[in-house]
Amino acid sequence: MKNSEKKYKCAIIDDDPISIGILSEYISMIPKLALIKTYTNPLFAIKEIQEQERLDFLFLDINMDISGLDVASILREHVECLIFVTGYPKHAFDAFGVYADGFLVKPIDFQKLLTCVNRAIVISLSLQ
């Protein structure tokens, strides 16, 4: 398979089903991405992601029962590209402290998501 045809595995962790639905729809519009799982429970997500093959992308909310920043710290070694999707822009500085590859503010804009994903593919994933 050519690199341009590769499907990058991704997952979403967000406690808001509506946000998951919107992001899932946008991901389905990006041919390079394959959404393999969504989670509303961060603890369950941590357990399951740690037990599976490394993800290419993790889209992660910050303001949940367990901070997305803490989830990111735990899962960072299991994820190639970590992109925060949150309604709280004040967390941007902290997000990059856990080595985020992107930070998007809700409501999600498709073009910004696409730009963020493409940048991550060029910078992070093309180095593999």
Q: Which residues lie closer than 8 Å to 5 by C-beta, 6 or more apart? A: none
Domain of 38 in residue numbering reads as 3-127
Looking at the predicted structure, is the pLDDT value of residue 123 above 90? no
Question: For strand 55-60 and strand 102-105, is the pairing parallel, antiparallel, or unpaired?
Answer: unpaired
Residue 60's CATH number: 3.40.50.2300
pLDDT digit string, tens, across residues 58-70:
999 999 999 999 9
Structural contact between residues 58 and 82, judged by C-beta atoms closer than 8 angstroms: yes
Q: How many domains does the chain have?
A: 1
Mean pLDDT score across all residues of the chain = 92
| Beta-carbon count within 10 A of 84 CB | 25
Name the pTM for this structure. Answer: 0.91
